[in-house]
Structure 1
Amino acid sequence: MDLNAVREVSLAVNATHRFIYFAPEAVEEAAKLGVTDRGPAYFAFRSAAMGAVPWQVALAAFYNFSPRSVQPMTGVWDAASPEQWQAARFVVADRSLRRGGVRLTADRIAEARSLIDRVVAGADYAGKTLAAANASVALPSDPLVALWQQITVLREWRGDAHLVVLADNRLGPCDCTVIQTATGRLPTVLMRATRQWDDEEWAAATARLVARGWLNADGTVTDAGTAAREQIEVETDEHCAALWAPIGDAGARRLASLITPIDDAFTAAGTYGQLR
């Protein structure tokens, strides 16, 4: 596989999947299940495919969140079962896709499924906890939502692979968050609010990265840090190359082009303003 093709389709998959975390419909559907706090609802929706796991398992699977951000999900399975949360997540996806004005023809959806289904079916799920859990979920009847669920499987597959690379590079949960914000991949304000590492933990992670030469003393990224963070993405691409082999470079690029209109619609609607 051409790693450029792997990166291209991976970016498209991530971008197409992400609206679910910003949709107001998620707040509304969670409230119907008795959870009004957005944090615990996020973890319930994303963990549902794994079953009624304790918060410690969600923490392990999501990696870069602090324990204090995940522990409040305790009790979400008492409010509603994982099956109810998964069903509600599909409702969120369906409502969001309709509100966002996503228009994919039946032929386009069918072509995308002909490619993505081969990848999902041929994937090696060893060590891919969230991907395997999502692959076990029965697909919904709506063709567009079913396509989105297959996209979710592959988004989580790369995420699971990425955690292996982070561990290999001795980047702990807070450290990887600090370098991610320092390189501008996600806003610091958003990451501090959602991952909830405190000032002491953030400072300690920064100090470790300064010692590695990846950050300057003021927390800004060095050239070495930028290169190291990109190398982590390259290593993740290398890990993912075998995943996309069933459809090859051309198939991966074609899939990316087929699903990109989903992200285009949400971007045009201003869904991701907080990411700027």
Structure 2
Amino acid sequence: MLLTSTSARAAIGMEAVREVSLTVNAAHLFVYFVPEAPEEAAGLGVTDPGPAYFAFRSAPMGAVPWQVTLAAFYGFSPRSVRAMAGVWDAAAPREWQAARFTAVGRALRRVGVRLTADQIAEARSLIDPVVAGADHAGKPMAAANASVPLPADPLVALWQQITVLREWRGDAHFTVLAANGVGPCDCNVLQTATGHFPEAIARATRLWDDEEVAAATARLAARGWLDADGTATGAGRAARERIETETDEHCAALWTPIGDTGVRRLTSLIRPIHDAFTAAGTYPFPVETGERRSAGAGDAG
């Protein structure tokens, strides 16, 4: 049985929660940058990277209209998500999910992720109770991914369990953002201003236009979080960290089935996934991990 958030904070240190959250995100993230994903999407008849991204990531929810994907993804502009209209005509969600697993398996083999069968089994013995015990109320992306049958490939199956927990924190983060009055465009502007997501990638993928970015900048400046030119203030950096801390607190109870020791062991077991993709030159920017909390992608998915 899960503990209350107060009990969880006593049982699991917030540093361990932050570390495992960053490492889970880093172990998941490669799917958005490897060449295998667009290759598999092309095999389904979709060559535009935007619609393919939304189809791959929202496939666990089924053939939902683009408005549902927009609601679940939070930080994207309506014009970016609207482009996915028609992806379910190209292929059914189950085909997109199968293609995503194929892309992940190919990429994992290409970069030579070095996890032994025993290490994969140990990681599953830790992550599976966390996934099984997760409360999915208000967590649509986590719930959808938890409903996906695991593939036969043990390493890809581990990656899917990692994905469930990555999306769980993302769902929780969106709740915290909304509670703090930080809207979908505003959160992108704050993330780029504080150095946690490259602005060029945010603008190219989220597709907020200049007028919308200027309005978000003005709203954040009115709160004292940005200067008029969009530079983050000390108060803005503190606000961003407070939101991350509130998200950690929201997530603490998630990890109580394995406790602090299990959390730290899982972190060490899955870290080689990110290390292998980093060594292969996968990312065009530094990715924030539990080991190194310098400027990076944040929740780049």
Q: TM-score, normalised by structure 1?
A: 0.99
**Aligned partners of 2:282, 2:251: CA distance in 1, in Å?**
28
Deviations 1:57-89 (A, max 9, x none): 000000000000000100000000000000000
Shift of 1:144: 0.2
Confirm whether residue 227 of structure 1 aligns to residue 224 of structure 2.
Answer: no
| Structure 2 residue aligned with 1:146 | 157
How far apart are 1:103 and its partner, in Å? 1.4
Of 128, 148, 159, the match for 2:139: 128
Letter in 2 for 1:224: A
Superposition RMSD on alpha carbons, in Å? 0.7
Is contact 1:112–1:259 with CA below 8 Å preserved after alignment?
yes
Opposite residue 284 of structure 2, the aligned amino acid is G
Identify unmatched segments of 5+ residues in structure 1. Answer: none
Give yes or no for contact 1:48–1:82 (8 Å, CA) kept in 2.
yes
Write the mapping of 1:48-87 to structure 2, written as runs, cut at 5 A.
Answer: 48-87=59-98
Is 1:98 paired with 2:109? yes
In structure 2, what is the Cα distance between the partners aligned to 1:48 and 1:100?
A: 25
2: CA distance between counterparts of 1:10 and 1:195? 23
Given candidates 25, 31, 40, the residue that maps to 2:42 is: 31
CA shift for structure 1 position 251: 0.6
Greater helix fraction, Structure 1 or Structure 2: 1
Distance in structure 2 (CA, Å) of the matches to 1:253 and 1:56: 38
Aligned counterparts, 1:205-244, within 5 A: 205-244=216-255
Q: Tell me, yes or no, if the aligned pair for 1:190 and 1:274 is still in contact at 8 Å.
A: no
* Distance (whole Å) between structure 1 residues aligned to residue 81 and residue 184 of structure 2: 13
Q: Distance in 1 between matches of 2:82 and 2:213?
A: 19
Query: In structure 1, what residue type is equivalent to 2:84?
Result: M
Q: Distance in 2 between matches of 1:227 and 1:26?
A: 36
1-structure distance, mates of 2:225, 2:131: 36
Match of 2:30 among 19, 44, 47: 19
- Pair 1:88-2:99 in alignment: yes
User: In 2, are the aligned partners of 1:43 and 1:73 still within 8 Å (CA)?
Assistant: yes
Q: CA deviation at 1:218?
A: 1.0
Aligned residue for 1:217, secondary structure, equals coil
1:115 — aligned with what?
Answer: 126
Give, in whole Å, the separation in 2 of the partners of 1:5 and 1:246: 14
Question: Where in structure 1 do 4 or more consecutive aligned residues deviate above 3 Å?
Answer: none
Aligned twin of 2:172? 161
Structure 2 gap ranges (5+): 1-11, 287-295, 297-301
Question: Amino acid of the residue matched to residue 195 of structure 1?
Answer: R
Matched, 1:184 2:192: no
Query: In structure 2, what residue type is equivalent to 1:126?
Result: A
Do 1:17 and 1:152's aligned partners in 2 also have CA atoms closer than 8 Å?
Answer: yes
**Does 2:201 match 1:200?**
no
Distance 1:153 1:202 in 2: 31
Q: Number of paired residues?
A: 276
TM value normalised by structure 2: 0.91
Letter in 1 for 2:275: D
